[in-house]
Amino acid sequence: MKVKHIIVVFILGAIFIMLGALFKIQHWPGAAKLLIGGLAFQIVGLVMIIWKILTTDKYREFLDL
């Protein structure tokens, strides 16, 4: 898993959240699903970056684990 994959997941989550907010403001159907999907992408991205930090030697030296 590369850092660029993690960034893509975060960007997709941000896009879904923005679209969900737009749908919510305009009272269009599907807003809740977009917001939940966007938050799910953000959570997956957060888990991926935490995993990357804890499993990479370069970052482990920085954190002194």
The pLDDT of residue 58 is above 90: no
Domain membership flag for residue 14? yes
Asked if the structure places residue 9 within a domain, the reply is yes
65 in a domain, yes or no? no
Put residue 28 in one of left, alpha, beta given phi > 0 → left and psi -120 to 50 → alpha.
Answer: beta
Q: What is the extent of the structural domain holding 25?
A: 3-58
Residues 2-48: tens digit of each pLDDT? 889 999 999 999 999 999 999 999 999 999 999 999 999 999 999 99
The total domain count for the chain is: 1
Grade residue 54 by pLDDT with cuts at 50, 70 and 90.
Answer: confident
Is 35 part of a structural domain of the chain? yes
Q: State the pLDDT at residue 63.
A: 66
